[in-house]
Amino acid sequence: GAGVSQSPSNKVTEKGKDVELRCDPISGHTALYWYRQSLGQGLEFLIYFQGNSAPDKSGLPSDRFSAERTGGSVSTLTIQRTQQEDSAVYFCASSLGSRTRNEQFFGPGTRLTVL
């Protein structure tokens, strides 16, 4: 079956521009996570959605970052006024639920380059 998909796969933007990254989770998965992987680093948690509950935004690095999840399915991560330090690979993951036994399935990522 279809896995987690993300678009675009690559995005190059100029400093100061806004970008939107899209995630399509696996159908039926109620939990959705965003992570980012900066060069040479492990993945860093950004935000978590579970069903229709308020998201956990504790990992967002600044107020330039926001995310929404429409209809409990597709999610969009928006970065406003991009900075060079925002350059990273942004991963989306989804799982059947939020418990530890529920495996997170990761998408292929969006590579963001801010010039």
Partner 1 sequence: AQSVTQLGSHVSVSEGALVLLRCNYSSSVPPYLFWYVQYPNQGLQLLLKYTTGATLVKGINGFEAEFKKSETSFHLTKPSAHMSDAAEYFCAVSVNTGFQKLVFGTGTRLLVSP
Residues interacting with partner 1, by CB under 8 A? 4, 31, 35, 40-45, 48, 50, 56, 59, 91, 93, 95, 98-109
How does 13-45 read in b/e, with b if 16+ C-beta sit within 10 Å? beeeeebebebbbbeebbbbbbbbeeeeeebee
- The smaller minimum CB distance to partner 1, of residues 35 and 82, is found at 35
Please give the angle made by the CA atoms of 68, 39 and 84, to the nearest 5 degrees.
65
- The smaller minimum CB distance to partner 1, of residues 14 and 54, is found at 54
Least CB distance to partner 1 at residue 100 (A)? 5
Least CB distance to partner 1 at residue 54 (A)? 12
- The smaller minimum CB distance to partner 1, of residues 59 and 72, is found at 59
- The smaller minimum CB distance to partner 1, of residues 10 and 78, is found at 10
Q: Which of 78, 94, 112 is nearest to 4 (CA)?
A: 94
Least CB distance to partner 1 at residue 107 (A)? 5
Least CB distance to partner 1 at residue 64 (A)? 22
Handedness of CA 112, 63, 30, 76 (dihedral sign): negative
Q: How many CB atoms are closer than 10 A to CB 87?
A: 17
